[in-house]
Amino acid sequence: MKANLYAKFFSLAFLCLLAGCNKPLFMSMGTAPLPVYHEPRWSGEQDKKWVISADAFAGPYGEGLNVREVFSLGGDLSVMYRFLNPLFVHASFAGATGDLKFGCSEAPCEWKYNRWLNDKKYTYWTLQEQVMLGSDFVFGGLVQTGLGIGVQFFQADGQYEREREKMELAGIADNANGKSEIYPVLGYWIGINLGRNARHGVIRNDITMVVSKDLPQEGALTDGINYYHPSGFHGGLSLSAQMGIMIQAGKSFSF
């Protein structure tokens, strides 16, 4: 038995010498923008200035940076005001809760971290507030595109958030951010109108990205393919950096 333990220890030490022992990095579950999208422009001259939207979303089984089997459930409320055609300001409040297991998507993970891993599920919750200034355009009555810039606030807590703090204090993991942060956020979308003035709806690709030098790679990204109906109903799929694939549905009211 002892010989087995020694063999495992020396092989791990040998791997560390060859590849280095990296500390796993964790991000808060509030980092990636929750799937909040604004209603598209239905014509070149938009006559309705205010849009209020409510959405619900769920992620049955996701995978992110050093997390796995992520379950998420949440919703959002948002208000959009169009002014000085084609500009608009969009404000949203979103929240999500769920549970997950710790994983190791970075290799090699330090052996002390692997000892910490187990199959236990940890709960989490997060709130987000986002304000964005943007503009959108319709070209030839068929293609529409737009760009937005703003700021995102988030607050998060739960067993997962507290556990990753413990790991950092124990010296076996690093955290890219805390349990509450403020980040610049960018939005981009491009879509196809179905019929003249989108009378059959719009299919659109919506991308929202948090920008920070402290986050891994290009930052935290949410990428969605959505269908918007002129009646205000909409839905689709989005892929989040931390929560995986999410299913979304909602209703907008314009006036």
- Assigned domain for 220 exists: yes
Residue 137 counted as domain residue: yes
Enumerate residues 6+ apart whose C-beta is below 8 A from 140: none
What is the extent of the structural domain holding 250?
23-254
Predicted confidence (pLDDT) per residue in 108-148, tens digit: 676 777 777 778 899 999 999 999 999 999 888 899 999 99
Q: Quick check: is 158 in a domain?
A: yes
Taken as a whole, the chain contains a residue count of 255
Q: Which two tokens stand for residue 165?
A: 């703090």
Q: What is the 3-state secondary structure (H, E, C) of 169-212?
A: HCCCCEECCCCEEEEEEEEEEEEEECCHHHCCCEEEEEEEEECC
Residue 4 in any domain: the answer is no
Is 174 within the bounds of a domain?
yes
**Residue 2 within any structural domain of the chain:** no
Number of domains within the chain? 1
Distance CA 66, CA 47 (A): 47
Q: What is the pLDDT of residue 43?
A: 66
pTM score: 0.85
When the pLDDT of each residue in the chain is averaged and rounded to a whole number, the result is 87
CATH at 103: 2.40.160.20
pLDDT tens track for 192-210: 999 888 889 999 999 999 9
Average pLDDT, consecutive stretches of 10 residues, N- to C-terminus, the chain (255 residues): 41 40 85 89 74 95 91 97 91 97 77 77 97 92 94 97 93 92 96 90 96 81 95 95 93 92
Query: DSSP secondary-structure letter at 33?
Result: P
| Residue 8 in domain | no
